[in-house]
């Protein structure tokens, strides 16, 4: 097989890149080690920046998003038993849209299928070769047969544990990491959200987040220890603990119900530099991870894909390598700003083990300054709705 761009990973990053390249007339094939149903079964967040929505508009897959998505003009911060609204639209003129990542993935999959583009599911033992040359290739196994695909470029969109970053020589990579001493216990339920906008809660018992997927499906999170177990949290215990951490009004109006899904996710910040190695490019979680507090994971993947697709379009249409040469620098400049914001939100909203009273007072002062200062609210809003590409 021969293609111009081999994309490793069939999640939203790889699918969005594939659609953008298709719109630019660039041939591409996606290789995914799991099947379609497995990918669509993964529960992920879904707060989309305007830039991400714009990219989905560009590739023509946003009809359901605009029909079913929930446009949010602000968020609420809760501490000291009270809630305080941050009007992001007033501060920036921009909004975010709540639309599940699973739905984004489904829309992109359907568009790729309708366009007759090739996606190889259940591609086992994928390996990357010769990406330091002008003729890289990948090999994979399917149905007991080994296949080879020659290409011009390889895009590694296969996540934190994927083969793409692992294929780079260790001495060519510099990694930066912070692992946080807690996780998020998440519960999905077929219940209406407790508030029309997200509530981020700082509480002495730990952080809590009230989020949603739709007007009838809610997603709630509790800060928990890293060694905790989902089996320790029957639904009744989860709802009781959530009510303890919410402000009185939210606790009184919270509608509970059976969980659809429950899981624990550790929190980490991670960046790998650079994001280009010859003709191999990393994008999304293959290159960086952010804690979910700032809602940046999928949005950072989208901005990476934007930079990469534009660079490849310039290469093929204008015979210019300037874009691909500058890809890593441009992507990382935005990545680090998002890493900073996600770290800041995480540090401000969570209870850290061993926190002394001085640190607690500093945290409260930070929150008080934030809600009293228009400049501080604007800064939070600019980052939350998404910095420009």
332 Cβ neighbours under 8 A, 6+ residues apart = 271, 273, 274, 275
CB atoms within 10 A of CB 28: 25
Sign of dihedral through CA atoms 95, 99, 103, 105?
Answer: positive
- The whole-angstrom separation of Cα 345 and Cα 201 is 11
Report which DSSP code applies to 140. Answer: E
The predicted pLDDT at position 46 comes to 87
Query: In the structure encoding, which two tokens stand for residue 54, read together?
Result: 């714009």
What pLDDT score was predicted for residue 42? 79
Q: Which stretches within 41-133 are classed as H helix?
A: 50-58, 63-68, 88-92, 101-114
Cβ-count burial 229-243 (b if 16+ within 10 Å, e if not): ebeebeeeebbebbe
Cross-strand pairs, 226: none
Name the token pair of 6.
Answer: 């081999």
DSSP class per residue in 148-208: EEE-SEEEE-S-TTSHHHHTS-GGG-EEEEEEEEEEEEEEEESS--SSSS-EEE--TT--E
Query: Given this model, what pLDDT does residue 383 score?
Result: 98
Tokens matching residue 179 = 């692992």
**Model pLDDT, residue 166:** 97
Q: Could you give the domains of the chain? A: 5-72+97-176+269-346 (3.50.50.60), 180-267+351-385 (3.30.9.10)
Rounded Cα distance between 216 and 99, Å, is: 13
**Cα separation, 308 vs 20, whole angstroms:** 10
Q: Which sequence positions are flagged as catalytic?
A: 72, 200, 292, 296, 384
Low-confidence ranges of the chain (pLDDT < 70): none
Report the alpha-carbon distance of residue 28 to residue 312 in Å, rounded.
11
Task: Please give the model's pTM, rounded to 2 decimal places.
Answer: 0.95
Q: Token pair of 352, please?
A: 């850290």
| DSSP codes of every residue in 223-244 | EE-TT--GGG--HHHHHHHHHH
Paired strand residues for 124: 141
pLDDT per residue as tens digits for the range 22-60: 999 999 999 999 999 999 987 777 899 999 999 999 999
Q: What is the spatial distance between Cα 216 and Cα 214, in angstroms, rounded to a whole number?
A: 5
List C-alpha distances in Å: 182 to 176, 288, 347. 19, 19, 12
Please choose, from the candidates 95, 89, 67, the residue with its C-alpha nearest in 3D space to the C-alpha of residue 215.
67
359 token code pair:
């640190």
Phi, psi angles (nearest 5°) of residue 253: -100, -5
- pLDDT at position 286: 98
Task: Let me know: does 342 contact 293? Beta carbons within 8 Å.
Answer: yes
- Cα distances from 202 to residues 124, 184, 207, in angstroms, run 44, 14, 5
Cβ–Cβ contacts within 10 Å for residue 209, how many? 21
């Amino acid at each position: 097989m021969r293609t111009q761009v081999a994309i490793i990973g069939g999640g939203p990053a790889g699918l969005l890149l594939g659609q953008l390249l298709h719109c630019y007339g660039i041939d591409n094939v996606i290789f995914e080690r799991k099947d379609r149903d497995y990918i669509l079964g993964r529960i992920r967040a879904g707060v989309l920046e305007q830039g991400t929505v714009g990219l989905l508009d560009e590739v023509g897959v946003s009809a359901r998003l605009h029909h079913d998505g929930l446009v949010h003009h602000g968020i609420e911060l809760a501490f000291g038993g009270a809630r305080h609204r941050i009007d992001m639209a007033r501060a920036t003129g921009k909004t975010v849209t709540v639309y599940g990542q699973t739905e984004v993935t489904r829309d992109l999959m359907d568009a790729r299928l309708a366009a007759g583009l090739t996606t190889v599911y259940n591609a086992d033992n994928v390996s990357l070769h010769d990406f330091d040359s002008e003729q890289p290739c990948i090999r994979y196994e399917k149905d007991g047969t080994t296949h080879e695909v020659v290409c011009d470029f390889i895009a590694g969109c296969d996540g934190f544990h994927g083969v793409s970053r692992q294929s780079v020589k260790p001495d060519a990579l510099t990694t930066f990491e912070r692992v946080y001493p807690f996780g998020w216990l998440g519960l999905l339920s077929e219940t209406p959200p407790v508030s029309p906008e997200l509530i981020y809660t700082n509480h002495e018992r730990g952080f809590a987040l009230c989020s949603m997927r739709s007007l009838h499906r809610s997603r709630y999170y509790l800060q928990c220890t890293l060694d905790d177990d989902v089996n320790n949290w029957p639904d009744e215990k989860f709802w009781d603990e959530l009510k303890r951490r919410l402000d009185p009004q939210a606790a009184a109006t919270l509608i509970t119900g059976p969980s659809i899904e429950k899981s624990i996710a550790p929190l980490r910040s991670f960046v790998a530099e650079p994001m280009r190695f010859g003709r191999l490019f990393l994008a999304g979680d293959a290159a960086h991870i952010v804690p979910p507090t700032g809602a940046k994971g999928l949005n950072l993947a989208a901005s990476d894909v934007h930079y990469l697709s534009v660079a490849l379009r310039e290469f093929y249409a204008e015979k210019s390598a300037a874009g691909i040469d500058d890809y890593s620098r441009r992507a990382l400049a935005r990545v680090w700003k998002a890493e900073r914001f996600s770290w800041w939100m995480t540090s401000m909203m969570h209870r850290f083990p061993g926190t002394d009273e001085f640190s607690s007072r500093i945290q409260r002062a930070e929150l008080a300054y934030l809600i009293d200062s228009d400049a501080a609210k604007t800064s939070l809003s600019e980052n939350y709705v998404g910095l420009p590409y």
